[in-house]
């Protein structure tokens, strides 16, 4: 499949996640096999572009791989300007957010709330596609709720307006992240579309990845929450799809090494104080679900690490913790 000049063979893509897919995490996922990593969403509100938060989201300094930036908003002209602004700052692909279920996003009629207004969807896509020379992609859900699934209609609009790749999360906005993702709608969208379709939702293992590809005939996969604390999932999925064999989970020594690299990159990117605080959730994700000697010990460690405010202590405690664990991962 192609997205503009970028060619992929059934790519495994990191989904955009607010507060997660920052530059350090994207670089790590590229390093461990992701074919494409999409940034946290960048607002189309120009007045916010100079805030520290947005400036960090706009930063691509030292970034590996293709730079795909997701933009969010409701006004076609503002989104077009945001697309031009991000391309000028290094974006090689622009992704439009019509999938976020967060209330603060939907309350201003952005994200997945846009799925309720199909004419506006067309206006937004056309404005953004016309504004930039780089390829434009779109991320959606299956619809607003179970009674208004309109992913097929949105896909037709997207294709007609020049979208070059469509990612579909197998839940409605009303579902948020509850229950299980469904793939029937994604299969219908793929069957009816000429543009690449990427399947997203609950793809948590290499085996599940193959099942979803077989059921939907999708051109690629998008991984979100399953990559939190397990950036190896990209390499694991790609190896399984290519060889039909599972690769061994990383030993604790490798996990510790990768986590320490991740932490150091967070400190460098955000500064020590903010980096340490942002690192806490990542440490929790790395620990979660691992086979350890004592679950209570993990809970106690999490509480302890969340009280640490300096990088050296955080690194030391993480290293000590993994050195004491049984060198294996949960199946």
**Mind telling me the catalytic residues?**
100
Q: SS3 for 170?
A: coil
Give the span between the Cα atoms of 186 and 191, in whole angstroms.
9
Q: SS3 for 212?
A: helix
Give the span between the Cα atoms of 37 and 40, in whole angstroms.
10
Q: Give bridge partners of residue 103 from the DSSP assignment.
A: none
Give the span between the Cα atoms of 279 and 116, in whole angstroms.
37
Are 158 and 125 in contact by the 8 Å Cβ rule? The answer is yes
Residue 161 is given by DSSP the state T
Per the document, the length of the chain is: 331
**Which value, in Å, is the radius of gyration of the alpha carbons in the chain?**
20
For residue 288 the two structure tokens come to 């979660």
Q: Give bridge partners of residue 221 from the DSSP assignment.
A: 12, 199
The crossing angle, in degrees rounded to 10, of helices 151-160 and 118-131 is 30
Give the span between the Cα atoms of 146 and 135, in whole angstroms.
31
For residue 66 the two structure tokens come to 């293709």
Are 266 and 209 in contact by the 8 Å Cβ rule? The answer is no
């Amino acid at each position: 499949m192609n997205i503009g000049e970028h060619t992929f063979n059934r790519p495994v893509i990191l989904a955009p996640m607010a507060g997660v897919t920052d530059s350090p995490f994207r670089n790590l996922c590229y390093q461990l096999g992701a074919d494409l990593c999409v940034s946290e969403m960048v607002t189309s509100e120009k007045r916010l572009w100079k805030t520290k938060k947005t400036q960090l989201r706009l930063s691509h300094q030292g970034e590996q791989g293709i730079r795909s930036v997701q933009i969010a908003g409701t006004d076609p002209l503002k989104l077009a300007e945001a697309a031009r602004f991000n391309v000028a700052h290094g974006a090689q692909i622009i992704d439009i957010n019509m999938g976020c279920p967060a209330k603060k996003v939907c309350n201003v009629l952005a994200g997945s709330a846009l799925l309720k207004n199909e004419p506006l969807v067309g206006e937004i896509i056309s404005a953004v596609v016309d504004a930039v020379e780089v390829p434009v992609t779109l991320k959606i859900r299956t619809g607003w709720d179970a009674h208004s699934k309109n992913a097929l209609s949105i896909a037709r609009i997207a294709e007609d307006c020049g979208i070059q790749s469509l990612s579909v999360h197998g839940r409605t906005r009303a579902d948020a992240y509850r229950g299980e993702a469904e793939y029937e709608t994604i299969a219908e969208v793929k069957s009816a579309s000429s543009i690449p379709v990427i399947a997203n939702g609950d793809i948590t293992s290499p085996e599940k990845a193959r099942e979803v590809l077989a059921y939907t005939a999708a051109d690629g996969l998008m991984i979100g929450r399953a990559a939190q604390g397990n950036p190896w999932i990209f390499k694991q999925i790609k190896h399984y799809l290519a060889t039909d064999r599972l690769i061994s989970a990383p030993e604790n020594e490798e996990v510790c090494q990768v986590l320490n690299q991740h932490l150091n990159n967070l400190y460098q990117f955000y500064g020590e104080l903010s980096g340490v605080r942002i690192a806490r959730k990542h440490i929790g994700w790395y620990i979660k679900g691992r086979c350890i000697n004592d679950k209570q010990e993990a809970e106690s460690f999490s509480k302890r690490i969340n009280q640490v405010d300096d990088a050296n202590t955080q690194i030391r405690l993480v290293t000590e913790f993994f050195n004491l664990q049984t060198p294996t991962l949960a199946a």
